[in-house]
Structure 1
Amino acid sequence: MSESHATPITIPILYRPNVGIILTNEQDEIFVAERINIPGAWQFPQGGIDDGEDAETAMYREMAEEIGVTPDKVMLLERRDGYRYAFAKGRLKYGIYGGQEQSYFRCRFLGQDSDVNLAATHQEFSHWRWIKPEEFQMSWVPKFKRAVYRQVFLDFFGLELAPVEN
């Protein structure tokens, strides 16, 4: 009698298309904002790409929705694609997405600080500030996003951020 070894069935992760926005000012500081529902969690603005929308259009829409900055207040500098993360603990977004695949955009902020409005639409952030890229702390980022943030800082700024001590 032959022995059968069943291989468990795995369902591939479906990644939601998403954009991340690195906004820099004249002093080469970066814009970070603290999540309203998670004190101490600072991040870049980001959001999903809607059906029928391209990544650049989504980037401008998300920037206006999340931080009130309109396209006339920024200059697009560079874009990099292919950053992926899976959500923690098998969580699904919209019942189907097990993670996100992001396109990151770096933009120069041409406006004034008074142009930032965290309550422009649905408020996701409680505070914001400009920091030097090397001041960013990996402890501000949920564990499941840390590999992407490390790669983004390496790709855009040539910085290798220190891992979080556990």
Structure 2
Amino acid sequence: MVDIVNGLLVRNGQVLMARRCANRRLYPNTWSFPGGHVETGETLKQALQRELLEEIGIAPRSVMLLTRLYDRPQQDGTDVTFHLFIVEEWDKDPANLGDEHSELRWVQISLAAVLPDLAMASYRDVFTSLLVQ
């Protein structure tokens, strides 16, 4: 089993979306959220802290587990669990660092579900749950 953490930065009715680079092995050129693999010995929150710092240069101050999504994108059939955290407070403006994403974009939560090329169809349910909070 593979564990992935994702941070959903939320502010003023918007969520920060990240477009995965076209050369990514999994979910290429699709809209997702900053995050990545949990390394051996890390807790989910430690992995989230590390991934958000590496990918968008922020340190989250307030995180809450929103949901878990399950997928089997690995060619060897490995199950993958995506742990999605709401991040409502962080230390500075997010910036697109490294080569994970080709674009970062703030999107109204009500419009995020209709973005073309979402990495996972189940994100639509995630956006709906954010609207009712």
Q: Which has the higher helix share?
A: 1
Question: What runs of 5+ residues in structure 1 fail to find an aligned partner?
Answer: 1-14, 160-166
1:138 shift after superposition: 5.1
Matching residue of 2:31: 42
Partners of 1:140 and 1:158 in 2: how far apart? 24
Deviation of 1:65 after TM superposition, in Å, equals 1.1
Aligned residue among 36, 51, 54 for 2:40: 51
> Which is greater in Rg?
1
**C-alpha distance in 1 between matches for 2:52 and 2:4:** 13
Work out whether 1:132 is the aligned partner of 2:108: yes
SS of equivalent residue, structure 1 residue 53? coil
Uncovered stretches (5+) of structure 2, i.e. residues with no partner: 23-27
The RMSD of aligned alpha carbons is 2.3
Instruction: For 1:43, give the aligned amino acid.
Output: S
The within-5 A match list for 1:61-76 is 61-71=50-60, 74-76=61-63
CA distance in structure 2 between the aligned counterparts of 1:102 and 1:127, rounded to whole angstroms: 21
Aligned to 1:32: 17
Residue 35 of structure 1 aligns to which amino acid in structure 2? Answer: R
Q: Counterparts of 1:100-115 in structure 2 under 5 Å? A: 100-112=80-92, 115=93
Corresponding position of 2:25 = none
Note the alpha carbon deviations across 1:49-84, whole angstroms, 9 max, x for none: 11111111111111111111123xx422x2134320
**1:91 aligned residue:** 75
Between structures 1 and 2, the one with greater strand share: 2
Shift of 1:43: 1.4
Question: Could you say which residue in structure 2 is the equivalent of 1:8?
Answer: none
Percent identical pairs in the alignment equals 22
Q: Which residue of 2 aligns with 1:116?
A: 94
1:112-140 per-residue CA deviation (whole Å, 9 max, x = no partner) reads 5xx32322xx3211211111111112532
Q: TM (normalized to structure 1)?
A: 0.65
Distance in 2 of aligned mates of 1:80 and 1:153:
11
Q: What is the aligned length? A: 127
User: Hey, what's the Cα distance between the residues in 2 that align with 1:138 and 1:30?
Assistant: 12
- TM-score, length basis structure 2: 0.79
